[in-house]
């Protein structure tokens, strides 16, 4: 059971307040204030971990986000003289904040130094405001940047995770790959990226729930995890396959909607091909993680379901089967 300390609860509230202020504001200055409130709330959350590398990750995160915020401020006076250059700087700053390629260099190292719950926050909640800003800033110049960043994110996310043995780095490169799909959804319409982001958040939470409850940080730990429990094996397999977009699981639906928009709008086939090929690459290292725990797990360990925390972590992963019950409803609603 997750119990927040008083200071963690306070900073979590201000973090959400910063997101709400930024998303609901009609002024760029108020939006920037919301971004800064969100940043200054997340830094203490990162440093509150007992991990000795958390301070280093917090410093890296602060420097990168400060650079992004400074770039946003620098673009304000340029918007009156050279508007296209201002849009280019703002788009680049937002891509830097979300860790999309080619500005992804900080994302895996920061993920490696923080806990699983903080990683989940970094992969999901911290991306809401920059993505919402990109969605409202779709011009000709920014759209070209988003396309280039989406293609490069798909390549980096697919190839970067192949040679990794640390689970947090694997999930971080997975997040970069999903960022490519999110940028594609942003370029189409707001409703599409909201659907994709909501699905991605739920699926990521299901994966993190298993990895956090079993404290898995290295690939080898999957071989010695308490996996005599068949429901735990199945939950991990379903979560990873859903994260890779395998039909008919939950992760397949938003990707199918993005592909449908590509076909209807007749957008660049090279862009779509890079997304599909990278999805196959990510699915490969998801399967490598899942099969390691399924086939090579040690038979000498006790069942992990004896721990109530592990038992509760199985509820969320099986939500990935929900599209089997209502796929037509989601498609009609969309």
pLDDT, tens digit, for every residue of 42-61?
999 998 766 678 889 999 99
The neighbouring-strand residues paired with 166 are 218
pLDDT over threshold 50, residue 97: yes
Give whichever of 14-28, 169-183, 263-277 has the largest mean pLDDT.
Answer: 169-183
pLDDT over threshold 70, residue 78: yes
pLDDT over threshold 70, residue 119: yes
Rounded to a whole number of angstroms, the CA Rg of the chain reads 20
Asked if residues 153 and 95 have their Cβ atoms less than 8 Å apart, the reply is no
Report how far residue 2's alpha carbon sits from residue 305's, in angstroms, rounded to the nearest whole number. Answer: 18
Q: Half-sphere exposure (CA, 13 Å, Cβ side) for 291?
A: 6
The predicted-structure confidence for 267-310, as pLDDT tens digits, reads as follows 788 999 999 999 999 999 898 888 877 765 544 444 444 454 55
DSSP annotation of 101 reads T
Report how far residue 301's alpha carbon sits from residue 280's, in angstroms, rounded to the nearest whole number. Answer: 33
82 Ramachandran zone, left/alpha/beta (phi>0; psi -120 to 50): beta
Asked if residues 15 and 45 have their Cβ atoms less than 8 Å apart, the reply is yes
Q: pLDDT at position 143, please?
A: 83
pTM recorded for the entire structure = 0.90
Nearest to 123 by CA among 107, 102, 137: 107
Q: pLDDT at position 310, please?
A: 52
Q: pLDDT at position 6, please?
A: 79
Domain boundaries, the chain: 49-333
Report how far residue 310's alpha carbon sits from residue 146's, in angstroms, rounded to the nearest whole number. Answer: 40
Report how far residue 170's alpha carbon sits from residue 172's, in angstroms, rounded to the nearest whole number. Answer: 5
Q: pLDDT at position 296, please?
A: 56
The neighbouring-strand residues paired with 218 are 166
Torsion, Cα 137 143 147 149, to 10 degrees, reads -40
Q: pLDDT at position 326, please?
A: 52
For all residues of the chain together, what is the average pLDDT?
84
Question: b/e map of 300-323 (b: 16 or more CB within 10 Å)?
Answer: eeeebbeeeebeebbebbebbeeb
Q: Half-sphere exposure (CA, 13 Å, Cβ side) for 242?
A: 29
Q: Which residues contact 211 (CB under 8 A, 6 or more apart)?
A: 116, 167, 171
Q: pLDDT at position 331, please?
A: 54
Q: pLDDT at position 3, please?
A: 61
pLDDT over threshold 80, residue 157: yes
Q: Mean pLDDT across the stretch 63-92?
A: 89
Q: Which residues contact 100 (CB under 8 A, 6 or more apart)?
A: 149, 150, 153, 176, 179, 180, 183
Q: pLDDT at position 114, please?
A: 92
pLDDT over threshold 70, residue 162: yes
- The distance from CA 330 to its chain's CA centroid, rounded to whole angstroms, is 22
């Amino acid at each position: 059971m997750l119990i927040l300390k008083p200071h963690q609860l306070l900073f979590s509230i201000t973090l959400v307040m910063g997101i709400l202020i930024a998303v609901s504001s009609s002024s760029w200055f108020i939006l920037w204030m919301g971004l800064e409130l969100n940043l200054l709330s997340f830094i203490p959350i990162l440093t509150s971990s007992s991990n000795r590398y958390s301070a280093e990750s917090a410093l890296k995160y602060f420097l990168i986000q400060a650079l992004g915020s400074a770039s946003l401020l620098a673009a304000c006076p340029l918007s009156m003289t050279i508007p296209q250059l201002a849009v280019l700087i703002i788009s680049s700053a937002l891509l830097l904040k979300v860790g999309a390629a080619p500005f992804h260099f900080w994302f895996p190292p920061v993920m490696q130094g923080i806990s699983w719950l903080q990683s989940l926050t970094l992969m999901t909640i911290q991306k809401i405001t920059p993505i919402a800003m990109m969605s409202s800033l779709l011009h000709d110049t920014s759209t070209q940047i988003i396309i280039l960043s989406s293609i490069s994110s798909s390549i980096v996310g697919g190839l970067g995770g192949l040679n990794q043995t640390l689970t947090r780095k694997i999930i971080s490169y997975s997040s970069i790959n999903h960022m490519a799909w999110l940028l594609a959804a942003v370029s189409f319409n707001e409703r599409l990226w909201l659907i994709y982001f909501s699905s991605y958040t739920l699926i990521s939470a299901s994966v993190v729930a298993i990895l956090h409850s079993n404290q898995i940080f290295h690939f080898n730990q999957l071989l010695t995890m308490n996996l005599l429990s068949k429901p735990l094996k199945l939950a991990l397999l379903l979560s990873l396959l859903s994260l890779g977009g395998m039909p008919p699981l939950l992760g397949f639906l938003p990707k199918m909607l993005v592909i449908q928009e590509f076909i209807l709008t007749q957008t660049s086939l090279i862009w779509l091909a890079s997304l599909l090929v990278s999805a196959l690459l990510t699915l490969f290292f998801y399967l490598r993680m899942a099969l390691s725990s399924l086939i090579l797990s040690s038979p000498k360990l006790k069942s992990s379901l004896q721990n109530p925390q592990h038992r509760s972590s199985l509820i969320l992963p099986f939500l990935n089967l929900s599209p089997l019950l209502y796929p037509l409803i989601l498609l009609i609603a969309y």
